Every structure is written in C-alpha cells, then in structure tokens.
Amino acid sequence: MDRKEFLSKLSMGAAFALTVGCFGSCKKEEDQTQATLVDDSVDFTIDLTDPTNGNLLNNGGFIFNGSVIVAKDVNGNYVAATKVCSHENLPDIVFRNNEWFCPAHDARFNINGQGQNDKGKRNLLVYNTELNGDLLRVYS
C-alpha cells in the first residue's frame, strides 16, 4: 500500500468513526430530551387556597405544574397525568369531557391513562393524588 492509498483509507475510517459517534450522541440527546418531558418521579404539593390554582376548585378544571397536568374530574376527584402525549411526545395534554385529550392529533385517554382511540393506544402516564385539607399531593 502506498502513502496515498494509506491516507485515503485512514481518512475514510476517521469519517466513519465521526459519523457513528455523531449518530450515537444525537440519539443519546434525543433520549435525554424524552426523559425530561415525561417525569416518572413526581412528588409535589399544591395549595388549593392559592388563587393561581383556582381552576382546581371546579369540576373539569385543570392546571399545569411543570410536566404534569392536574385536574378535578366530574365527580370532584383530583387526577394527574403527564402533559406529554404518548402518540408523538408533544406536551399538549389537556383535561376535557372527563378524559385526558391531546388536541394535536385527537388522542384520547381515560382517567386511568388508558388509550381510548388509535392515537392513544400507547396509554398515558398517570400519577397518584392525595388530598389533605387544602393541600393536594401529586406523586408517582
């Protein structure tokens, strides 16, 4: 092998190594973004007397707290879920007609996070709630 052929093979090898490294790091970055969107280690408390949480005093009302949506269902129970839709990982989940709903693609989920149509078939991450007086704890 002459010098020119050696350098050519060396540069092709280096290009391959850099390309593979980039793909790996891009995938890793994507996975890290996904992990921050859907948080399965949630534990926070909401003060229901705070005016900023006033929507939770009405059945059907909801608020956002970070990556979580907290709502009061039609029976007066507090429910919580990730606001990231499992269909295309968009942070668009809202509470509508006593179910979780993603207006981006019409994905629907029941209170327990179970998909109610083809777009919601991967289910939704839901959280526990516990009411202690005027304090609502949301946790995983």
Give per-residue pLDDT as tens, 24-82: 443 333 333 333 456 668 999 999 999 999 999 999 999 999 999 999 999 999 999 99
Q: Are 85 and 134 found together in one domain?
A: yes
Q: Is 70 exceeded by the pLDDT of residue 127?
A: yes
pLDDT of 36 reads 41
Q: Are 32 and 74 found together in one domain?
A: no
Q: Are 7 and 62 found together in one domain?
A: no
Decide: residue 28, CB within 10 A, 0-12 exposed, 13-18 middle, 19+ buried: exposed
pTM score of the predicted model: 0.72
Average pLDDT over residues 90-114: 96
Angle at 44 between CA 109 and CA 127, to 5 degrees: 25
Q: How far is Cα 121 from Cα 30, in angstroms, rounded to an integer?
A: 22
Q: Are 102 and 55 found together in one domain?
A: yes
Average pLDDT over residues 92-110: 96
Q: Are 7 and 61 found together in one domain?
A: no
| CA 100 from centroid of its chain's CA atoms | 13
Q: Are 49 and 14 found together in one domain?
A: no
Q: Are 30 and 14 found together in one domain?
A: yes
Domain containing 7: what range?
1-37
pLDDT of 17 reads 47
Q: Are 62 and 82 found together in one domain?
A: yes
- Structurally, how many domains does the chain consist of? 2
Q: Are 131 and 87 found together in one domain?
A: yes
Q: Are 22 and 71 found together in one domain?
A: no
The domain spanning residue 48 has which CATH number?
A: 2.102.10.10
pLDDT of 32 reads 35
Q: How far is Cα 62 from Cα 54, in angstroms, rounded to an integer?
A: 9
Q: Are 65 and 23 found together in one domain?
A: no
Q: Are 63 and 92 found together in one domain?
A: yes
